[in-house]
Amino acid sequence: MRPFKYILVFAAIALLINYISAQNQAPEEALLTAEKGLAQFKNLVTETNYKDFGFETAEEIHNATLGEPIREFMVGLDELKGYRSEDDPKILLKGGDEYT
């Protein structure tokens, strides 16, 4: 029964993170940084190393785009071990001020 409890906890956390992400937009600074990073990444991919980066053709890099930013949260192991099913799962989340 205990593994099922952990599965429920992780599912609740995943749903909560998706809900929180939908409610908040990434700061403009994070988006600009991501755009610069994508441009730099595109410059790294060449005709000889594109497969090392996971592309099937060298031309695929021209179609690379940014996805939706994801807020980063952390769930500490000690907090997770102490979590009870009647607790609010939001208490497990730490951070949320950085985006990936």
pTM of the model: 0.51
Q: What pLDDT sits at residue 63?
A: 92
Q: What pLDDT sits at residue 12?
A: 59
Residues of the chain with pLDDT under 50: 1, 22-23
With H, G, I as helix, E, B as strand and everything else as coil, classify residue 75.
strand
- Sign (positive or negative) of CA dihedral 85, 74, 3, 18: positive
96 sits in the region (left: phi over 0; alpha: psi -120 to 50; else beta) called left
Q: What pLDDT sits at residue 1?
A: 47
